[in-house]
Structure 1
Amino acid sequence: DNSEFAGGRSPYSMIGGRPTQLVLEDDYAALRHDVWLATDGAYKQALEQLAAKRSFIKTKVQPEEVPDFSREEATKTIAPKKLLTFDQKKWKGALRRLSAFFREFPVIYDSSISLNIRFSHKYFINSEGTVSHQPANLVSLYVRAATQASDGMGLKHFVPSYGTGLEQLPPEKEMAASIRKMAEELTALTSAPVLEKYLGPVLVTGQAAGELFAQVLAPQ
């Protein structure tokens, strides 16, 4: 869209609308009511945006007429739902074994390991007749630990792993090596020499660059 119209849209409208929660119970009337409210709200918001854009275009000189969107043939993609099944007993044992590594490092006073599995299915339709149903599952394994330096400064470290299925997570042996490395690094930091005060340029590379951007520069 090259009309330069913003209209006070929220970030949610840029990615397909504001997320809406539905009832968890398998109740047709309740589900129908929630879906109706969501679609009615989205429709009214779209009408307001359309009216505002038409008013904006009338008052703005358009040097050229360029369509907002290209015309495409309607497509239909229906993928089956993928329910992730897993051996709960097996994974409980694996998480306990991985968590036990921190017992070898007494300076680490706080640690945790969590496995999260999210089932979701994305539905998309548009006015051209395109229909898309796609699974969008997410699996995350998150390990974190914390300790304290000799000068009282808090020290934290983490090891995240993500995938669309459990098979995409690292093997237990590989995760164990990552956890041990993380614990060793934290232990070494507790006795690391304290740097003198410094004012000047700093070169940040690797994972630290992403963390700096996320924690300091990116909007919260």
Structure 2
Amino acid sequence: MIEREVRRRVKQAISLKNRKKQKVQKFRVKKKLGKPPGGKGGGRRVPAFIDRYEVLAYKSCPDCGFSFYGKKPRDKYDRFLLDLVFEKRGKRLISRHYEIWGHYCERCHKLKYPRIDAPPKARRGWGLITWTLMKRVARKMAYDAIAAEILDLCNEPISKPTLIHWMQKTAKPLLKIYTHLWEIARKSDYMHIDETGAPLNGTFIVKNSYLRK
């Protein structure tokens, strides 16, 4: 009898909670997506200075070879890319502006846009991303320290989740390159050659002496 009474009261409590939830859901108003009318617009900032400006357009379809000669482009979009370039004098930060035109292929029935050497839908180029990977993998720096160094270099804040996302996205492609280079190294006669001088027969000879492993 006691167990039945306990079960009955538990069922009543659960049903009462469900009724309250249903009442709350009836009076709950769905929030509209986006900013309120008259609000300040948002979006990605356009760089103040542009170092390189390029116009990209296909002359023919890269898939079927259909010629776009005399054909007007159907669509255009702009893309701004912040990248790190390594030169003899050191690394330099540049801002690129790509004007990409899309032509309609009558055979494929699709718009064809030229591709640029950069991650899709990214504002940073491979130079900055690989530099970040070097700081993380080779020098074993913390993500917060890398973000602070990028802030000093680019004057643009980059969050820690963004750096982790770069590591995750580039791990698989770099693993293929790493395994390919490792297979090439295994087939070679020597794994390591160092031109540092080494003692030979008790005498230290610098010329024509190599350390091989």
TM-score scaled by length of structure 2:
0.22
Higher relative contact order (CA 8 A, sep 6+): 1
TM-score scaled by length of structure 1:
0.22
